[in-house]
Structure 1
Amino acid sequence: MKTIRQQLLIGLLSASLVCVLSAGAMLYRSLLAETNELADLQLRQLAVALPDEFKGTALPENIHDPEEAFVLQAWDRDGAPMHTTVAPGLQPLPHYGLQGYQEKQVNGNLWRIYGVHEPGRYVQVGQPQSARDRLALRMAVRAGAPLLVIALVFSCLMLIVVGRALRPLDRLARAVVGQSPTALQPLDPVAMAPDLRPVVEALNGLMGKFEEALAAQRTFVADAAHELRSPLTALKLQLQLVERAETDAARTLALARLHERLDRGSHLVQQLLSLARHESGLTRTQLQRVDVNSLLVSVVADHSALADSRDIDLGVETVEPVVVQAEPDGLRVMLNNLVDNALRYTQRGGRVDLLAGTDQGRAYLQVRDNGPGVAPEHRERLFDRFFRPDGNEVWGCGLGLSIVRNIVDHHRADIRLEDGEQGKGLRVTVFFP
């Protein structure tokens, strides 16, 4: 692909060349028309002047302009030739007996002929059109030479002007190249040309988002390393306890706790992978029509075994059919995390309900339970990575609602945390745009 500089220069130079050629063509046509008019007048003057200038048969043999090529002929009233004057390279013409101007084809060439009948004689003057064309072309070249000089000067000026006009782009490129990925500095839009300020502001916005993404990545890596350190240390200690067990009962208990530690570590890794996968935004092509009620039924089926093991009533409360534009896998991950959290924190014999509907034209889905709930001062922090309220005895890694928040944000949706029915438990509602 050509650069902007190349496109500008090619476009401007091509336009200049077209203008020069068009001007030359118009100049040639104008000069050709004037040449034809003057040449016609000359033919007539030669023909009319002969009877006055020459008496009897005393016609000179060399009547013609050295700049022109023509044939001058005269015949008497009987058609006998009286005189012929032929320019070098031309041949005499037939006797046409014309009165006035007329064009004739002679040996494949176009001639302009003027004939006049005078008492006792007929005079005919002819000139090839090619001679007129050559004369007009020579005149056009002489007249157009200054135009070519002007075109060359204009082309040099265009090179200078385009180079100066594109200097701000070069400065902007150098400013961007000078940025460090680890320390992005916003560009100064005031120091740039007015036409480039929207580009600079867009670049600043992009660099800000990139900086946020880098900061989030650094935070994620640091938090993940910190959180993985503890379960790995616990696994190593538990493995040592298994090795030191002296009785079968002690070894069985140690192995059970080792399996529990492994389950927690696997759950943490799975949540970290899910969080990393949903950190990136959604594109329009990823959005599909999703039947929310069918998705709720599917999620309930996936968690029914866990709910039965804890004697929790898990089900779908149908309100109305709801269809949203969403990314199906992301929506399923979000619901899985909400239901998993609700089942973990709801006491044995409790209840978890899923439902979907519309409120003021906005579709929503909701997961609510009648568990212990969350204090209002802790609700906003629930979306922070690895945050778990004090006094919480249920094991977890604190990433579930962070994953939910990412998926909600990427769908440009809203999420609300409220008290459950009769002030008990927690109600999580996601409103779609």
Structure 2
Amino acid sequence: MSAADKLIHPENSSVRRSLLLWLSIGILAGIVFAGSMIYVQVREQANQLFDYQMKQLVASLPSQSYAPLIPTRPELSNIQEDIIIQIWDTHGLRIYHSHDSSALPQRAELGFSNFSAQGTTWRIYSAQLGDTIVQVAQPLSARLELAARLALKTVAPLLLILPFLAGLIWVTVGRSLSAVQRAASDVQSRDAGALTPISEAGVPQEVQPLTKALNALLQRLDTSIKAQRNFIADAAHELKTPLTALKLQILLAERAADDGARQEAFADLKQGLERAIHLVQQLLTLARQEPGAVEEAPAPVDLQALVHGAIGDFAMTAADKNIDLGIRTEMPAQLMGNPDSLRILMNNLLDNAIRYSPPGSTVDVSLLADAGSVVISVQDNGPGIPEADLSRVFDRFYRVPGSNAKGTGLGLAIVRRIVEGQGGEVVLANTGKGLLVTVRLGGVQP
């Protein structure tokens, strides 16, 4: 990387240095442009002025014939700056020339013209005065030099002001960014648990989107950390009961007086272990569904095949309770989503429906697709949920008071988390013959 690149694109970029650099470049470019425009205008005006002077000089010479004149002394002249005069009589004889060394044409072309010789361009004016032809010439370099000097004198004060402007920019930007520095100091001085919003007092309007984004991030982190703390506390509380029961069952097995009592204690211990394992599995499933826990690219999911597969997995469980589990209505449907999460969703819906339905009842599943979404519904013949608890059953570890069915209170919480991740909604409704769970998912493929 060149030195210029390092200056323009430093590794540790500074807003103050960048603004100072680019504003200085912009001001300097503006001064150069203004100087160029001034130079062009002054050159045009100088050409007009010198052309007028050349005409006046010719007009001031006498119009009658006169004897040959003695040329000016060479040591006192400067051919690059002086005006050169040549005079011819009517016979073409040059009767006067101001500079012997000039390379001007020896024939006059009346009016204005330009002539180049020996690397010099001349501005020539010729006119006839009586019996003589007068030619006046001046090097264009003298005019250009005059225009350059005038343009430089005009922009020189601006160049002198440039350091003052650079200092003003440096101080002004520093004062504007002082609020950003205070916000940075505030964040740096905090500990890991301080997630209160950053003060936006005095922060420039251009920087406020950054502070607002940081405050939004801090709020999301605070919400996430609180949710994790609540989750850990609830999980610890829920695990305490089955683990205590397991310990008690182990003591009962150790103290059993005969083989029959010991077998009964081990059977209770086995059931307790299965409930604890199911609870841990549900906890792990819920943790995996937390936002940002698993980042998997959406994939096409055949919902019809997924529903059939879930019903096949629970067919034996439903048969053990003499429950008729089947599909009432279905149609082909595909959407973009996480296949594992959608399979967990169906498993939890069917597990709850079978768990709370009495023996000899039915559980009906429907799969419908409409414009842009797909609807999965599960109707059971259970006791339903009291209207006051319909919204609370989505909370982790919440179980309806008086319910005799054994569960962890995590099934519907997992369902809602998966549905929200898919951009859908889940609705519970009591139909009079049981609970109807309706899940609407977006992202349907045509």
| TM-score of the aligned structures, taking structure 2 as reference length | 0.81
* Matching residue of 1:301: 312
Structure-2 separation of matches of 1:281 and 1:70: 86
Structure-2 separation of matches of 1:192 and 1:97: 75
SS at match of 2:238: helix
Q: Note if 1:224 corresponds to 2:231.
A: no
* Matching residue of 1:158: 169
Structure 2 residues not aligned, in runs of 5+ = 1-8
Specify the code of the residue in structure 1 equivalent to 2:438: T
SS at match of 1:307: helix
SS at match of 2:390: helix
1:164-210 C-alpha deviation (Å, 9 max, x unpaired): 33333333434444554423223455665566666655544443332
Give 1:154 deviation, angstroms: 3.2
Structure-2 separation of matches of 1:85 and 1:170: 74
1:371-396 C-alpha deviation (Å, 9 max, x unpaired): 23333343333222122234444332
Structure-1 separation of matches of 2:359 and 2:20: 78
Specify the code of the residue in structure 2 equivalent to 1:364: V
Specify the code of the residue in structure 1 equivalent to 2:152: V
Give 1:290 deviation, angstroms: 4.9
1:297-336 C-alpha deviation (Å, 9 max, x unpaired): 2221222232223332111111555555654433322221
1:115-160 C-alpha deviation (Å, 9 max, x unpaired): 2334444332322222322221122112221222344433333333
* Matching residue of 2:435: 426
* Matching residue of 2:421: 410
How many residue pairs were aligned?
A: 429
Specify the code of the residue in structure 1 equivalent to 2:126: G
* Matching residue of 2:3: none
Does the 8 A contact of 1:190 with 1:197 survive in 2? no
Does the 8 A contact of 1:64 with 1:70 survive in 2? no
Structure-1 separation of matches of 2:272 and 2:135: 122
Of 81, 87, 98, the residue aligned with 1:74 is 87
* Matching residue of 2:385: 374
Specify the code of the residue in structure 2 equivalent to 1:269: V
Structure 1 residues not aligned, in runs of 5+ = none
Does the 8 A contact of 2:423 with 2:441 survive in 1? yes
Structure-1 separation of matches of 2:293 and 2:247: 40
Q: Note if 1:129 corresponds to 2:120.
A: no
Structure-1 separation of matches of 2:209 and 2:269: 59
Q: Note if 1:341 corresponds to 2:352.
A: yes
SS at match of 1:86: coil
Structure-1 separation of matches of 2:64 and 2:261: 146
* Matching residue of 2:407: 396
* Matching residue of 1:105: 116
Specify the code of the residue in structure 1 equivalent to 2:290: E
Return closer, same or farther for 1:161/1:125 CA change in 2, 3 Å cut-off. Answer: same
When the two chains are superposed, the root-mean-square deviation of aligned CA atoms in Å is 3.7
Of 28, 48, 58, the residue aligned with 1:37 is 48
Alignment of 1:17-32 (within 5 A): 17-32=28-43
Alignment of 1:190-201 (within 5 A): 192=203
* Matching residue of 1:214: 225
Give 1:61 deviation, angstroms: 0.5
Does the 8 A contact of 2:31 with 2:155 survive in 1? no
| TM-score of the aligned structures, taking structure 1 as reference length | 0.83
Does the 8 A contact of 1:364 with 1:430 survive in 2? yes
Structure-1 separation of matches of 2:357 and 2:165: 82
SS at match of 1:69: coil
SS at match of 1:342: helix
Structure-2 separation of matches of 1:61 and 1:54: 20
Specify the code of the residue in structure 2 equivalent to 1:395: K
Does the 8 A contact of 1:282 with 1:410 survive in 2? no
* Matching residue of 2:4: none
Give 1:102 deviation, angstroms: 0.6
Q: Note if 1:85 corresponds to 2:98.
A: yes
Q: Between the two proteins, what is the percent identity of the paired residues?
A: 39
SS at match of 2:382: coil
Q: Note if 1:277 corresponds to 2:271.
A: no
Does the 8 A contact of 1:179 with 1:185 survive in 2? no
